[in-house]
């Protein structure tokens, strides 16, 4: 009997070894795009809520936006994307109801913080979904779509806020956000399946309970044995703190630190817009909202176009890699071959001119204000936003590539670092402008970015080596755990 069972197991093992490597995910590209559109609409609420009203409440929102994803991200990487999305939107909707009935500044601050805690995490959880269902080869374009739709909030938020508050009063803004949030939550419950790979595998595992959307098609084929996974991890304090360890990895820290510098400079440009433009150009509240449109349009363009650029760069580096390895164009790259694929080069190949564009436009921006021609600084705002968002997209893709299994947590750490440094920049920008003037202030910020830009070169040269060293270190750690486990069993 034992012999027969062993023989059957051996036959199954031999058969599975003979099978080709399963696809990373079974969803078609059209299905993947559908899910990206859903999580992009969800991600829209973070910038939309930040820009639609009350710039005075921005500081508390910045702090909460930085901290909240550090909880939601690990939860998403352990319990699932879908349940985390539902949880964040429930918090968001409750906060909007509280804001709608708030009539004093203290209540507004408290509920704005709760609202930020709900909306901020949608970005990291959405990035987690993209990491679950896409390979590095197709990830660039989908991250571009994700960022482009999400950044619409940056563009339309001030305009909608100005119109609604002018004609319906500021309380109507919160009911507007409540209705939009309810629609997004409905789409998630209706259409978004669980994608976390420890629960859904590569899309071949049949979903049940909370992980299953209302409209769901059962996978037409059963999963392979190595695709059947069940989550065993629990949310603990250590699991929430664990993603902070990413910052001790040299390649991750360099990528996130430079991205946070660019984010801070862009935030300082954006947050100082009202103070610099309203009095100088005699703008009313609605016109102040409209001058944010070039910045928002630059964000959308930067995300979309950089997505296509990433796909092109990946194919270019892949073609070179195949030539070096003697691989035919039709040969699928397996997991082993992808270990030494220069993913850093594929993401950073064109970042040099984007950084140069960002530094140049930022250096000119402050001086352009003194020309008293409103179109000039607004055009430069478009260019600054375009270049900054392009850097964010490249950074986001690279972070997900470095930690595809914990993409939500990695993105949450990215968000924490950017918001923390950005909050400091926003707090001091007016002090700096008042102290040295607009021209010198933004020229200094451009200089700071220039001084930090060689970090990208360091990542280009050493990034792959650091990534392979980390992989080997983690492999040895896992082997040691297994050996210790066997020793306990034998003992």
Average pLDDT score over residue span 267-291: 84
Q: What is the pLDDT of residues 53-84, one digit of tens each?
A: 644 444 455 555 656 666 777 788 888 899 99
Provide CB contacts within 8 A for 4, sequence distance 6+: none
CA distance readout (Å), 108 to 71, 92, 161: 23, 14, 16
pLDDT digits (tens, 9 = 90+) for 207-216: 888 999 999 8
pLDDT in the model for residue 75: 82
DSSP 234: -
Residue 180 to residues 23, 93, 116, 185, Cα–Cα distance (Å): 36, 10, 15, 9
Residue 2 clears pLDDT 50, i.e. is over it: no
pLDDT band at 185 (very low <50, low <70, confident <90, very high): very high
Q: What is the pLDDT of residue 214?
A: 92
CB distance 124 to 213 below 8 Å: no
Lowest mean pLDDT among 332-341, 420-429, 457-466: 332-341
User: What percentage of residues in the chain have a pLDDT greater than 70?
Assistant: 83
CA distances from 486 to 63, 233, 390, 479, 491 (A): 45, 21, 48, 11, 8
**Band (1; pLDDT cuts 50, 70, 90):** very low
DSSP 88: H
CA dist 217 and 457 (Å) reads 46
Q: Which of 320-334, 365-379, 420-434 tops mean pLDDT?
A: 365-379
Q: What is the pLDDT of residue 87?
A: 92
Tell me the per-residue pLDDT of 429-480, one tens digit each, with 9 for 90 and over. 889 998 998 899 999 999 999 999 999 999 999 988 998 888 888 788 877 8
Residue 246 contacts residue 414 (beta carbons within 8 Å)? no
298 vs 116, residue with greater confidence: 298
Which residue in the block uniquely carries the two structure tokens 């005699």? 282
Report the greatest alpha carbon distance in the chain: 90
- Location of structure tokens 């035919």: 328
* Cβ neighbours, 10 Å, residue 104: 7
The answer to whether residue 21 scores a pLDDT higher than 80 is: no
As a residue count, the chain comes to 491
User: How confident is the model at residue 254, as a pLDDT?
Assistant: 92
């Amino acid at each position: 009997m034992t012999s027969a069972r062993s023989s059957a197991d051996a036959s199954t093992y031999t058969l599975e070894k003979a099978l080709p490597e399963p696809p990373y995910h079974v969803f078609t590209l059209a299905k993947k795009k559908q899910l990206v559109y859903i999580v992009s609409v969800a991600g829209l609420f973070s910038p939309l809520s930040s820009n639609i009203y009350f710039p005075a409440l921005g500081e508390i929102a910045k702090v909460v936006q930085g901290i909240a994803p550090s909880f939601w991200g690990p939860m998403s990487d352990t319990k699932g994307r879908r349940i985390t999305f539902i949880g964040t939107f429930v918090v968001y909707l409750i906060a909007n109801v509280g804001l709608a009935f708030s009539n004093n500044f203290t209540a507004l601050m408290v509920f704005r913080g709760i609202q930020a805690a709900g909306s901020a995490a949608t970005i990291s959880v959405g990035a987690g979904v993209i990491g679950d269902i896409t390979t590095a080869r197709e990830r660039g374009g989908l991250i571009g779509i994700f960022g482009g739709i999400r950044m619409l909030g940056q563009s339309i938020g001030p305009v909608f806020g100005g119109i609604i508050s002018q004609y319906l009063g500021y309380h109507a803004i919160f009911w507007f956000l409540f209705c939009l949030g309810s629609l997004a939550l409905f789409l998630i419950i209706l259409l978004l399946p669980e994608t976390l790979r420890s629960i859904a595998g590569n899309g071949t595992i049949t979903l049940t309970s909370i992980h299953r959307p209302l409209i769901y098609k059962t996978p037409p084929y059963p999963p392979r044995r190595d695709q059947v996974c069940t989550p065993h991890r629990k949310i603990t304090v250590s699991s929430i703190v664990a993603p902070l360890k990413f910052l001790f990895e040299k390649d991750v820290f360099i990528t996130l630190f430079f991205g946070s510098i660019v984010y801070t400079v862009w935030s300082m440009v954006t947050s100082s817009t009202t103070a610099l433009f309203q009095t100088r150009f005699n703008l009313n509240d609605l016109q102040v909202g409209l001058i944010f449109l070039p910045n928002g349009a630059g964000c959308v363009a930067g995300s979309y176009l950089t997505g296509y650029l990433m796909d092109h760069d990946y194919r270019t580096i892949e073609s070179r890699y195949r030539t070096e390895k003697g691989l035919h164009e039709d040969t699928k790259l397996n997991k082993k071959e992808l270990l030494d694929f220069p993913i850093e080069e594929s993401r950073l190949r064109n970042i040099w001119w984007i950084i140069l564009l960002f530094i140049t436009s930022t250096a000119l921006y402050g001086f352009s204000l003194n020309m008293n021609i409103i179109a000039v600084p607004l055009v430069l705002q478009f260019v600054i936003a375009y270049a900054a968002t392009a850097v964010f997209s490249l950074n986001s893709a690279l972070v997900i590539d470095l930690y595809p299994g914990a993409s939500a947590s990695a993105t949450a750490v990215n968000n924490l670092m950017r918001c923390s440094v950005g909050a400091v920049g926003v707090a001091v920008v007016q002090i700096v402008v008042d102290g040295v003037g607009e021209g010198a202030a933004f020229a200094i910020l451009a200089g700071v970015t220039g001084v930090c830009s060689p970090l990208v070169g360091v990542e280009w040269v050493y990034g792959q080596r650091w990534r392979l060293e980390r992989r080997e270190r983690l492999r040895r750690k896992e082997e040691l755990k297994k050996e210790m486990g066997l020793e306990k069993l034998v003992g």
